[in-house]
Amino acid sequence: MPVTRERTTTLSRRRMLSGMAALPLVSIGSSRGRAAEFVWKYATGQDPTHPVNLRAAEAIARIREATGGRVEINLFPANQLGSDTDLISQVRNGGVEILNISASVLATLVPSCGMLNTGFAFPDYDHVWRAMDGAFGDHVRAQIAKSGLFVTDKIWNNGFRQVSSSTRRIDSPDSIKGFKIRVPVAPMLTSLFQSLGASPTPINFNEVYSALQTKIVEGQENALPLIYTTKLYEVQTSISMTDHVWDGFWVVGNRRAFSGMPADLRDIVVNEINKSAIDQRKDVVTLSDSLRGDLRAKGITFVDVDRAAFRDTLRKSGFYKNWQGKFGDDVWNKLQDVVGPL
């Protein structure tokens, strides 16, 4: 599918659900004309049909055009190059130059990334973007840079996460007690569900479908677009609309690769990735709003919950107080300046 010079601002819903025919597991072919001076790998963990990959492919095409073919980036979606935790190691050692990674997983390297997943902190997207594009986001980006990674300015949208189940209806704090739930390899999310009385099991995402299918776990928690594009609805029966955390995707890079690129080319790469981030943020909101009907048609039952009851349970368990002590008052207050007291 050719990519025109005019940048579209909204992906059609049909395109988001079907993906691009020109986006195989290894995407974006060789540049025409001159040989590329920089040939990079861009890895993601999401299905090719996910807005993360559709918008990344557009950014890659714009980068190739704007650099006159000097920069060629190949997109590897769906954990083709390894599990999420493997990919963090690869981008640090230079095996992968660019990585789109969930903040919840990056927290294993940069602990402050886990603050994005503070349970029931963000009431809506307005608060999310005020925090992430403001002083709180600046703090987290600085911590990522200190870890030795390059990081772009705009975080991408993973969406508000929901709890799915194959065994029980999750509608209250009492109903989640003892529930065997898959979580990412992410300390904050493990702590959240432990504090609610559930039984969380950290599993890399490329193993989630089989873990649900074989009943190693009863359920999992992810945003609706990821549940849909990876067909987790085939091994789940209900989705509880908990909005328990918002999660984002950081686009990080190998520092040596970025520092070794001329400044003018590096600016093009970063600016085009940031442009696609803004578009992708909107895509996930639009897609999430539309997916209830599609998932119902697949046999999923939706359950609305009282979020305040879950938040009260977390507060009584000491969840917020414990994490404030771990992160420190300075950054905790930067978050509370946007979302209010936790």
CATH class for the domain made up of 13-157+248-289: alpha beta
Q: Give the model's pLDDT for residue 17.
A: 63
CATH 3.40.190.170 range(s) for the chain read: 13-157+248-289, 160-245+293-339
Q: Give the model's pLDDT for residue 8.
A: 44
Which residues is 150 bridged to in the sheet?
A: 253
Q: Give the model's pLDDT for residue 5.
A: 35
Q: Give the model's pLDDT for residue 27.
A: 46
Q: Give the model's pLDDT for residue 9.
A: 53
Q: Give the model's pLDDT for residue 10.
A: 61
Q: Give the model's pLDDT for residue 16.
A: 64
Q: Give the model's pLDDT for residue 7.
A: 42
Name the H helices within the chain.
13-18, 51-66, 84-93, 103-106, 125-132, 135-146, 187-195, 208-213, 224-229, 255-259, 263-297, 307-317, 319-327, 329-339
Ranges of the chain with pLDDT below 50: 1-8, 20-22, 24-31
Task: Give the SS3 label for residue 252.
Answer: strand
Interval 193-240: pLDDT, tens: 999 999 999 999 999 999 999 999 999 999 999 999 899 999 999 999
Q: Give the model's pLDDT for residue 253.
A: 98
The model carries a pTM of 0.90
- Which residues, including other chains, have CB under 8 Å from residue 162's CB and lie 6 or more apart? 221, 222, 223, 224, 227, 239, 240, 241, 242, 243, 244
CA distance 34 to 186: 43
State whether CATH 3.30.300.180 applies to domain 160-245+293-339: no
Q: Give the model's pLDDT for residue 162.
A: 98
Q: What are the b/e assignments for 235-259, b being 16+ CB within 10 Å?
A: bbebbbbbbbbbbbbbbbbbbebbe
Interval 75-108: pLDDT, tens: 999 999 999 999 999 999 999 999 999 999 999 9
Output the six-digit token pair for 83: 């599990």
- Residue 181 DSSP symbol: E
Site of tokens 């009260």 = 312
